[in-house]
Amino acid sequence: MTLVSAPGWRLRSQTEPLLSKLRRSRMILGLSFALVCALGTNLSSLFKARGAPLARPIQVRHPLRSAADLFRSRWFAVGWILALFA
């Protein structure tokens, strides 16, 4: 009795290592992207925390003026820009 293999069996087994390498590289790329985003988010938080004390005190009755004062602080603005890209 002889065993007959399916027509595409050899092709599948030969391309399987290539697919696993592709999956592995995509996973590494995705994890690297997540790490860069996490670092960017943390740095932006630190920059905003560094810039907030340099601005004038916040006045609840003047929210737009207070926001403008915060964004005039260079470190606060850099933190927000970095957060947008992270």
Per residue, the 3-state secondary structure of 31-65, as one string, reads HHHHHHHHHHHHHHHHHHHHHHHHCCCCCCCCHHH
Residue 51 included in any domain? yes
6: helix, strand or coil: coil
Residue 37 included in any domain? yes
Q: Return the structure tokens found at 46.
A: 């630190």
Q: Exposure pattern of 35-61 as b/e (b: 16+ CB <10 Å)?
A: eeeeeeeeebeebbeebeeebeeeeee
Residue 68 included in any domain? yes
Report the number of distinct structural domains present in the chain: 1
**Mean per-residue pLDDT, 16-41:** 90
Residue 64 included in any domain? yes
Q: Return the structure tokens found at 65.
A: 């003026």
Instruction: Please give the residue range of the domain that contains residue 55.
Output: 33-86
Of the listed ranges 17-21, 22-26, 27-31, 39-43, the least confidently predicted one is 17-21
What single-letter DSSP state applies at residue 26?
H
pTM of the prediction? Answer: 0.67
Residue 71 included in any domain? yes
**Mean per-residue pLDDT, 32-53:** 95
